[in-house]
Amino acid sequence: MIDTHAHIYASEFDNDRDLVVERALNQGIDKILLPNIDLESIEPMLATEAAYPTICRSMMGLHPCYVDSNVDQTLATIYSWFSKHNFIAVGEIGIDLYWDKTYRTEQEKAFVTQLNWAKEMQLPVVIHTRDSIEETLSLLRGEQDGSLHGVFHCFGGSVEEAKAINDLGFHLGLGGVSTFKNGGMDQVIPHLDMDYVILETDCPYLAPVPHRGKRNEPAYTELVANRIATLRELTLEQVDNITTHNAKTLFNL
């Protein structure tokens, strides 16, 4: 299995990162993909990738929650990293209107700018949306020239939203929310196109049941896969095979 979205470089894992990776391997999670968020996360992310070079692969991007009035300068620094290191994706990028709408214009600029990097470098994009699915889809439609591909990570939307995302050629990243009793995903997952589904944790956030509210980690990817298997009436092995194939293809692993 592949955890396609994990922040194991975060300080929450500083005391037991080796054990976290070991538990993931013991659960059959053999690849852990690391999305960048801001300028401060680059160094710990690359250090984590270097520590586990056969397991971890890094992405480069600016998360919408870290966009501010210095967006041009920050983007220039982020972009400069693509010439220094081999990244598997542009991410995580997107629009977040949940916490703060102050820099909405700057968020949109950063998103479109980074989508164009992806087109230029022929890389997939990893998209973060919160209270912004329509805004994000609208911007994406405006930039989609047939070459953009990627994933809407931490998907927790409707069947209609899933179809709109798939119609643009994008995957759905399913994580801990898929296991929440009140998350509504039990009504959505049975209708998803499995050719567009990949697994993720978004650790240390959004731990799946029965660990909800605690620190999440890559080993819990299997709990998400199990939930999908139950809802789709598939075996765990089938879900593993489908989602691993999708992730390897999407991220060119």
Closest by Cα among 65, 68, 57 to 31: 57
pLDDT of res. 73? 98
pLDDT of res. 43? 98
Locate all alpha helices (DSSP H) within the chain, ordered by sequence.
17-26, 42-51, 71-80, 104-121, 133-143, 159-167, 221-232, 236-251
* Over residues 130-153, mean pLDDT: 97
Whether the ω angle into residue 210 lies within 30 degrees of 0, i.e. cis, is yes
Measured between alpha carbons, how far is 89 from 236 in angstroms, rounded to an integer? 27
Measured between alpha carbons, how far is 16 from 53 in angstroms, rounded to an integer? 18
For the cut 90, the answer to whether the pLDDT of residue 100 exceeds it is no
pLDDT of res. 14? 98
For the cut 90, the answer to whether the pLDDT of residue 58 exceeds it is yes
Q: Which fold has domain 2-251?
A: TIM Barrel (3.20.20)
Work out the pLDDT band at 178, boundaries 50, 70, 90.
very high
Measured between alpha carbons, how far is 41 from 252 in angstroms, rounded to an integer? 23
pLDDT of res. 219? 98
Work out the pLDDT band at 99, boundaries 50, 70, 90.
confident
Mean pLDDT value across the chain: 97
Residues whose CB falls within 8 Å of the CB of residue 41, separated by 6 or more in sequence, listed in order:
7, 9, 10
Structure tokens at 23: 């538990």
* Over residues 152-179, mean pLDDT: 98
Cβ distance 196 to 166 under 8 Å?
yes
For the cut 90, the answer to whether the pLDDT of residue 177 exceeds it is yes
pLDDT > 90 fraction of the chain, expressed in percent and rounded? 98
Q: For the ranges 99-108, 135-144, 199-208, 223-232, which has the lowest average pLDDT?
A: 99-108
Cβ distance 132 to 96 under 8 Å?
yes
* Over residues 74-93, mean pLDDT: 98
* Over residues 146-167, mean pLDDT: 98
Structure tokens at 169: 């050629």
Per residue in 129-141, pLDDT (tens digit) is 999 999 999 999 9
* Over residues 27-39, mean pLDDT: 98
For the cut 90, the answer to whether the pLDDT of residue 94 exceeds it is yes
* Over residues 219-247, mean pLDDT: 98
pLDDT of res. 151? 98
Count how many Cα atoms sit within 13 Å of the Cα of residue 41 in the half-sphere of its side chain. 23
The domain limits of the chain are: 2-251
Amino acid at 146: G
pLDDT of res. 180? 97
